[in-house]
Structure 1
Amino acid sequence: MELAHLIAGVQSVTIIAAAALIALAALATAFSFGMLGGKFLESIARQPELAPMLTMRMFMVAGLVDAFAAISVATGLLLVFGGNPFLAEIIKAAVEKVS
């Protein structure tokens, strides 16, 4: 019974951590895209002749910002649905204790 409570505790903390990871990544990405778009338009308004170069660089930075969000979401989902490393260690310790 104690093992079940321990596993439930680890799973609940892992789900909360994954949700926080995904939420913070989404917030940071939204903020970054807002700043990126604002600065891009500001730069184009100042120097319209640099529009093609700035557009290319903006899309490169947008890809990096989006990659950050994708990596965070993948990490969060891996913690929840994949092999939870914390849970694996608890189960291994419980098996050693029983043996």
Structure 2
Amino acid sequence: MNADMIAMIYAYTAVGVGVILAAAGLGSAIGWGLICSKTLEGIARQPEMRPQLMVNMFIFAGLMESFPFIILAFAMWFLFANPFVGALQAAIQAVGG
């Protein structure tokens, strides 16, 4: 196991984490847009339902906001406690004896 292999693992992990975080941010933004647009459509159709629709919107918006933070926690785990380096060391030890 040399330093180049470990550096490649960390580099590929960083690229993967960037893609994961970008996808989580994009998904959250699309979710926010859909939640707000459907709430506005519902209010336009039935204005008397506005309080109930707003409560539902904020509940679902809170759920939508939690998704990127959960993904961020997984991304930090991949960056700082990289499980792939340990797997590489175990594989090299298994092959080497």
Alignment TM class, shorter chain as reference: 0.7 to 0.9
- Which stretches of structure 1, 4 residues or longer, exceed 2 Å deviation after superposition? 91-99
Give the Å deviation of 1:94. 4.1
Residue 92 of structure 1 is matched in structure 2 by: 90
| Alpha-carbon displacement from aligned partner over 1:19-59 (angstroms, at most 9, x marks no partner) | 10001100111111011111111111111111111111111
**Counterparts of 1:3 and 1:95, CA distance in 2:** 13
Q: RMSD of aligned C-alpha atoms?
A: 1.7
**Counterparts of 1:29 and 1:87, CA distance in 2:** 31
Q: Give the number of aligned pairs.
A: 97
**Counterparts of 1:56 and 1:78, CA distance in 2:** 34
Give the Å deviation of 1:8. 0.9
The sequence identity of aligned pairs, in percent, is 34
**Counterparts of 2:48 and 2:30, CA distance in 1:** 27
Q: TM-score, normalised by structure 2?
A: 0.87
* 1:3–1:94 contact (8 Å) kept in structure 2: no
Residue 13 of structure 1 is matched in structure 2 by: 12
Q: TM-score, normalised by structure 1?
A: 0.86
